Structure 1
């Protein structure tokens, strides 16, 4: 007795779905696309810093180098407790073995600053401390999601304007949107691990400091783009 009831319910559900699809397709509609973009200056700049003991006769302990680095960064107005983090929390210290009894300790940090000028100051201070293994890891913006949503709104508005431009010569009106597809927003120059659009004078192509030139950092703005495809009822 249960099987016929289940079959009837399944048939009604399928029929309802097909009816909805048929109603959508049978309506006169216009499908258009719209896009929008925005340029924003990065306010999150991540600098990877690799600190190690020097293989010299009068070796400076890693702990002493760290203290000097933190002091210099704090003098720049950087909150080292919040903005300076050990990159690898599972192993704070790594060891490099040189010969049989020689060990050099190393430590990797990730520093976050909020402007290109401050990033330049950081590179200069690191150069003074003889910390040459530092590079830009990535850039971002604290309000990137809000900016993406603004672009989405502009994109759907552009799609509506396009629909109006196409229907006006025909003497038809644009009705409500019956189908909208959001093309995922893309933030260029913002992807993790990518440093496209970053120009660092005084830093070589592989990201390391050239001590012969004082480093200055320039950033291209992050370009956020968004697109939509929308179907509007034609009246």
Structure 2
């Protein structure tokens, strides 16, 4: 299927690994111009040479300003922002969580999206096919015991997304959120391992418990998420905005 996004100018945060890398590679395969950032310099170095990149922490506004200056100069503007950056945050009861761990989780998972969107919007207003996609989570729909900072941030992403969609609709800029469930990869494994340790059970038992809260007893793949994001950012997705789209195997609640 020709999605009609050849030449689209796309900025993806945290694109060296996992979901972000799948999104970067999917846009590149469709003929888009792509720029990304990450804290993993080594991972960035393994990307296709056609992908512009720099090391940047999107929780730092000074580094975000440098990111947008370099990305828009290289690509000649911007059509799409994919706010993918996020961290798992701490696992533990609220009274046990260090305040700096709470702050860091919200800074990366939520405030970084504001940091990027505020600089992207002036460029997107000049685009003929402008879109923002924010990564939330199934944790943005349910309470998530032992993961309060992460869940709070991901709920906030949905509120931010819906508010931006209303603000920017008249300018033709659509804004949507993607809510992944259990995503195959190292990060998901580390989360389940931490929860297994907290519960005093083995990884296999924890994985089975996590799957028990979904109808489709399997992981979501980064490629499935990338495919949905590409559609939303293509002309075919032009009237889809303000949506929180779950790609989570029909998660009913979180363990």
The bucket for the TM-score relative to the shorter chain is under 0.3
Larger RCO, structures 1/2 (Cα 8 Å, 6+ apart) = 1
Task: Give me the TM-score of the superposition, normalised by structure 2.
Answer: 0.25
Task: Give me the TM-score of the superposition, normalised by structure 1.
Answer: 0.27
Structure having the higher Rg? 1
Structure with higher helix content: 2
